[in-house]
Amino acid sequence: MNPRRSESLKVLVAGAGGMLGRDFSAAARERGHDVVGLAHSALDITDSASVERAISLHAPDVVVNCAAYTDVDGAEADERGAMRVNDEGAASLAAAAASVGAKIVHPSTDYVFDGSSRRPYVESDVTGAISAYGRSKLAGETSVAVSNPRHFIVRASWLFGIGGKNFVETMLRLGNERPEVLVVSDQVGSPTYTRHLGEGLAELMERDEFGIHHMAAEGRCSWYEFAQEIFDQAGVECHVMSGTTEMLARPAPRPAFSVLGTERPDPIRLPHWRQGLAEYLAEREAAKHEVVA
């Protein structure tokens, strides 16, 4: 990551109460920017009038959309709800940003791809979402690009961070409750620590390299391998059994392979996923001691 730059930007963050919103806001402040963080209770991006008022009031240089419908399985039965947030809400935010000349940073997902590739996906690869959630995020990418030419659409993958539901927390809870867990080994991706992604987004918004960017942790693993590493690093005694996607029968289909690469000439590269996990576990432990103190 590059050191912070001298010019301060005014940044409005929608969805500032979530994992990524929290970590991005901290990273942007560390780089010397003026951040206005609005949680869902303060700004519902599906309410276009509220969006326009917030943008008009704060007149930001950059708007960052960390608000999203993220329930992948729930979206299969509620695709309309997912579209309202991930497509229509995102478009409203991007258009309001454009009205004051602001850039828009719009995090997206590896789930816009069908998972049939055997090499990392780059920005120009053909998309083909196979789930309702993926379709809603893909629609949002198009709407954001149309609504604001000064856009950064940033595809990330397998996010985990403090302050939200994530795979690491699920594994640690199950590992302390059961002697063994069953985890799929036929889905491969790059688990990405939201603090690292937040730092990457904070650096990216200072640039004018608009368009689609891929930004995920270095390295790749299956959910099965990720679970093993979680227990190893956390010192939890729990046996991980390998399963298949078909065995777990989740409502939403997942891409079998969704590792993200980049064809950008000067990309922002994030640390390896194992490093992200180690830093997350350390942050989690520190937060526990703060609560006790």
Q: Which residues are catalytic?
A: 133
Read off the amino acid at residue 73. D
**Alpha-carbon separation of residue 1 from 50, 123, 139, 222 (angstroms):** 35, 21, 30, 26
How far is Cα 138 from Cα 168, in angstroms, rounded to an integer? 26
CA 105 distance to own-chain centroid: 12
Residue 142 CA to residue 139 CA, distance in Å, equals 5
From edge to edge, which strands make up the β-sheet containing 34-38? 34-38, 10-14, 62-65, 103-109, 151-156, 211-214
How far is C-alpha 286 from the geometric centre of its chain's CA atoms? 23
DSSP-derived secondary structure letter, 260: B
Report which DSSP code applies to 31. T
Question: Can you say how many angstroms the Cα of residue 104 is from the centroid of all Cα atoms in its chain?
Answer: 15
C-alpha neighbours within 13 Å on the C-beta side of residue 97: 32
Task: Give the SS3 label for residue 34.
Answer: strand
The C-alpha atoms of residue 214 and residue 272 are separated, in whole angstroms, by 15
69, amino acid identity: Y
AA identity, residue 266 = D
